[in-house]
Amino acid sequence: MNWITDKVLPKFKALVKKENSEEVLWIKCKSCDQMIFHKEHDSNLNVCKSCGYHDFMKIENRTKLLLDEETIENVKLNKIEDDPLDFKDLKKYSDRLKIARNKTNSYDAISIKYGLINKNPCVLLLFDFSFMGGSMGRSVGDAIIKAVDTAIEKNCALLIIPSSGGARMQEGILSLMQMPRSVVAIQKLKDKCLPYIVLLSNPTTGGVTASFAMLGDIHLAEPGAVIGFAGRRVIEETVKEKLPDDFQKSEYLLEHGMIDRVVERKNQKKEITQILDFFKSN
Ligand SMILES: [Zn+2]
């Protein structure tokens, strides 16, 4: 112990801590720019109290929101060879994976959980957009197959919550192969007559929309979520027309018969329970 560790270091740590905590005390809503106290944002399930914007939600928080807490089990993902094409753009793909893994503490852009939703057994497959934009590569394809196999083994429903920019370009053709792979996996579930529910969250686009994400028995979506294949600008340039403001939003898709319900986050567990109860009794 000396003057530096005794006096200076505690003051310095307090100063640094104060700056960091101030930085995360307030969050700016991505939709209406309202400043929101972060604890208030957390307690409101990351939904803006002013405009109802449904912000990203961490996988752990989503899991706790939907599954009965004491029943949650983690289903481990299989590890695979990381970079079979030895791909490099501005950075090496293997480096991008390392960065994403350190940032998210996850193996890839997806997690599988098993548990009860108000006593209904369910396998839950969640995408993490913060892991390389929730992009679908071989690992994500493997996870979808594993989630289906787990649901068949447990004889229960599968609930997928996508949040993805589409295929992972760093895996080239191998990422596109995950589209038919995931479709075949979902068909296996349907052959067993097990319920498959999709809760579309913001954004669900590209190859994910063009495969397993639009094959549910029931499609729910979060308010305001962008759901589509090609982006708005590409479509506008192709068809040479101005598209409506709410084009590719959940509410627009509901109006045009592409999805079944738009459900606010606070009501999702209740509504999914009703759906699972319905499947159980029929
Ligand atoms: Zn807002």
CB contact burial 50-85 (16+ within 10 A = b; e otherwise) = eeebbbebebeebbeebbeeeebeebebeeeeebee
Asked if 210 and 191 touch (Cβ cutoff 8 Å), the reply is no
Q: How far is the CA of 28 from the centre of ligand 1 (A)?
A: 8
In this structure, the answer to whether residues 43 and 131 fall within a common structural domain is no
In this structure, the answer to whether residues 145 and 18 fall within a common structural domain is no
The protein residues having their C-beta less than 5 angstroms from ligand 1 (an ion) are 29, 31-32, 34, 48, 50-51, 53
Q: Which domain holds residue 178?
A: 57-281
Instruction: Give the residues across from 125 on adjacent strands.
Output: 112, 160
Enter the DSSP assignment of 256: T
Share above pLDDT 70 across residues of the chain, in percent, rounded to a whole number: 94
In this structure, the answer to whether residues 140 and 253 fall within a common structural domain is yes
In this structure, the answer to whether residues 30 and 131 fall within a common structural domain is no
Dump pLDDT digits (tens) for 204-214.
999 999 999 99
Domain end residue (candidates: 32, 55, 78): 55
Dump pLDDT digits (tens) for 180-203.
999 999 999 999 999 999 999 999
In this structure, the answer to whether residues 105 and 202 fall within a common structural domain is yes
For the chain, the domain total comes to 2
Dump pLDDT digits (tens) for 116-153.
999 999 999 999 999 999 999 999 999 999 999 999 99
Q: What is the pLDDT of residue 35?
A: 95
Q: Is the pLDDT of residue 15 over 70?
A: no
| DSSP string across 200-253 | E-S-B-HHHHTTGGG--SEEEE-TT-BB-SS-HHHHHHHHTSPPPTTTTBHHHH
Domain end residue (candidates: 12, 38, 55): 55
Sign of CA dihedral 252, 277, 149, 72: positive
61 pLDDT band, cuts 50/70/90, is very high
Using CA atoms, how far apart are residues 51 and 36, in angstroms rounded to an integer? 11
Q: How far is the CA of 206 from the centre of ligand 1 (A)?
A: 26
CA distance to 154, 220, 255, 275, per residue, from 260 (Å): 26, 6, 9, 12
In this structure, the answer to whether residues 72 and 6 fall within a common structural domain is no
Q: How far is the CA of 30 from the centre of ligand 1 (A)?
A: 7
User: Which pair of structure tokens corresponds to residue 91?
Assistant: 């950075």
In this structure, the answer to whether residues 172 and 206 fall within a common structural domain is yes
The model carries a pTM of 0.90
In this structure, the answer to whether residues 27 and 10 fall within a common structural domain is yes
Domain end residue (candidates: 21, 36, 55): 55
Residue with tokens 């270091």: 9
Using CA atoms, how far apart are residues 99 and 104, in angstroms rounded to an integer? 9
Q: How far is the CA of 234 from the centre of ligand 1 (A)?
A: 27
Q: How far is the CA of 181 from the centre of ligand 1 (A)?
A: 38
Residue type, 138: R
CATH of the domain at 136: 3.90.226.10
In this structure, the answer to whether residues 232 and 276 fall within a common structural domain is yes
- 171: Cβ contacts below 8 Å, ≥ 6 apart: 84, 85, 87, 93, 137, 138
In this structure, the answer to whether residues 83 and 202 fall within a common structural domain is yes
Which of 3-12, 133-142, 236-245, 273-282 bottoms out in mean pLDDT, i.e. has the lowest? 3-12
In this structure, the answer to whether residues 42 and 131 fall within a common structural domain is no
In this structure, the answer to whether residues 25 and 114 fall within a common structural domain is no
Enter the DSSP assignment of 78: P
Q: How far is the CA of 26 from the centre of ligand 1 (A)?
A: 13
Using CA atoms, how far apart are residues 20 and 73, in angstroms rounded to an integer? 33
